[in-house]
Amino acid sequence: MKEPSFYENVMISFERAAALTKHPKGLLDQIRECNCVYQMRFPVKIGKQYEVIEAYRVQHSHHRLPTKGGIRFSEHASQEEVMALAALMTFKCALVDVPFGGAKGGVKINHKKYNVDQLEKITRRYTVELIRKGFIGPSLDVPAPDYGTGSREMAWILDTYRTFATTEIDAVGCVTGKPVSQNGIRGRTEATGRGVYYGIRELLEQEAEMKAIGLTPGIEGKTMVIQGFGNVGSYTASISAEEGGAKVIAIAEVEGTLHNPDGININKLVAYKKSKGKVSGFPGAKLLTEKDAWLKIPCDILVPAALESQINLGNVKLVNAKIIAEAANGPVTAKAEEILLKKGVVILPDMYLNAGGVTVSYFEWLKNLSHMRFGRMDKRFNQNTNMNMVSLIENMTGKHVSKRKKQELIKGGDEIDLVRSGLEETMLNAFHQIREVKNRRKKVKDYRSAAFVCATDKIAGDYLAMGVFP
Ligand code: NAD
């Protein structure tokens, strides 16, 4: 049976949820449709030849500005794919109260085939195309990293933008996910994976729900299988293992699935991949090369963190997990989801679970507009206040607080502490908003529908407040 495309899958999920709301059709149509699609072709000289590169930027919704969304380098990038990702960004931002419309960019290249100089040329030329059409700027549209891009590409984008916007005081806010030394923010690189961890941890705290699927509450000791060991997958793995005590028993990459039922040492694997550029050959686990081996491994939590449509009608029957935590965008097709939900698998949807990246991007944008690092004004003030309090308690009780404990108690928040705390608050708050919709509205049966209903209500609220749909 032919499955709907990624874009159609997103639309199916939206329509399902829209039917559970009472908003008028015209308003729902406006919320659903992409507002602007910019398709471009530009030449880049690679070696002695010119290559014509196909690329996109889609702004899905202008109900809030700027629009926001990553740039993907992938040979599979297409207009439909970028439209799907841009739409997801709109709902994601609304859900986690990040005041942006959704957008996304795609450059149709296999980034692994180009050297660093060639990637720089492509990135800079793409940025120029965005500038020419007004598709980038701190108050218009703010890109970020996604599949195949990272802080290096964001630094090139900023530098190119600044070359043209010489008098713009807030120019550094034209892109997020930049290196910290280039007006980035501490904690952005790990943010998506850390947010995934907070979301999974919170779900596992729901005692009754976990009991219903045969799990004890708490993340500690739970087995985890992860597909994709790039930015999102590797941070999800390391933070879940180190801070949550989860046992990561398998990592699937393009070369195959690394499996160790006793748990894989994630820090060693990160170092191994960094030095070898691959995961195969890692001495701490067995490499399974059979197709879809990662799906068959029994586990508590399955984390697809690579690309869309990875769990589909063709392989859904292999899934052997109780929870699917969608770290990637669109990794489970709508039809596969129907089957999984019937089997009682709990799915934490992408639009919620991977929202940590855009949340910290929002913090970075705020930092750029304020031209000041978080914590600079209040860290020492808080430290002194806390110190006075500890001294008072010591004087009143006559007891001495150890030097180590004292340091812990008086600590003022650094940028990284504030970013992590803001991210945790955002992920927990959004989780309980979705859960409330799921529990309160009888017809809402799953987390994805609940997340879409929640986000759609907020966007509808914006349009109604603007008087666009009286
Ligand atoms: P990345 O390029 O850093 O890593 C992706 C990894 O997946 C790579 O290591 C790649 O080799 C691997 N991979 C590709 N195809 C695979 C396959 N068939 N099987 C196993 N592994 C495969 O990308 P990323 O930034 O980690 O993004 C991953 C997903 O998370 C994407 O869906 C992206 O849209 C989503 N996402 C990323 C961010 C972010 O901040 N980077 C934010 C939100 C969502």
DSSP labels, 113-175: GS-HHHHHHHHHHHHHHHHHTT--BTTTEEEEE-TT--HHHHHHHHHHHHHH-TT-TTGGGG-
pLDDT at 333 over 80: yes
CA atoms of 229 and 234, how far apart (whole Å): 5
pLDDT at 311 over 70: yes
pLDDT at 1 over 80: no
Contact 350, 331 (CB under 8 A): yes
Which pLDDT does position 2 carry in this prediction? 82
Instruction: Report CA 458 to chain centroid distance, whole Å.
Output: 20
Q: Output the pTM of the full model.
A: 0.96
Mutational test site, ligand 1, from 68, 231, 278, 280, max ligand atoms within 8 Å of CB? 231
Of 98, 105, 53, nearest to 79 by C-alpha is 105
Percent of the chain exceeding pLDDT 90 equals: 98
Point out the residues that are catalytic: 104
Could you read off the pLDDT of 92-145 as tens digits, one per residue? 999 999 999 999 999 999 999 999 999 999 999 999 999 999 999 999 999 999
Mean pLDDT of 48-52: 97
pLDDT at 469 over 80: no
Contact 153, 145 (CB under 8 A): yes
Instruction: Report CA 373 to chain centroid distance, whole Å.
Output: 23
In this structure, the residues whose C-beta lies within 6 A of any atom of ligand 1 are 145-148, 192, 227-233, 252-254, 305-307, 327-329, 354, 357
Q: Chain-wide mean pLDDT for the chain?
A: 97
Question: Which amino acid is it at 154?
Answer: M
Instruction: Indicate which residue's Cα is closest to atom 17 of ligand 1.
Output: 254
Mean pLDDT of 166-192: 97
Kindly indicate the confidence band of residue 338, based on its pLDDT and cuts at 50, 70 and 90. very high
Mean pLDDT of 331-347: 97
Query: Ligand 1: distance of its center to the CA of 228 in Å?
Result: 6
Query: Ligand 1: distance of its center to the CA of 308 in Å?
Result: 9
Mean pLDDT of 424-438: 98
Could you read off the pLDDT of 180-207 as tens digits, one per residue? 999 999 999 999 999 999 999 999 999 9
Which pLDDT does position 470 carry in this prediction? 67
Report all structural domains of the chain as residue ranges with CATH numbers, in order of start: 1-33+429-470 (no CATH), 36-182 (3.40.50.10860), 191-356 (3.40.50.720)
Backbone dihedral angles phi then psi of residue 405, each to the nearest 5 degrees = -65, -40
CA atoms of 292 and 104, how far apart (whole Å): 29
Instruction: Indicate which residue's Cα is closest to atom 38 of ligand 1.
Output: 146
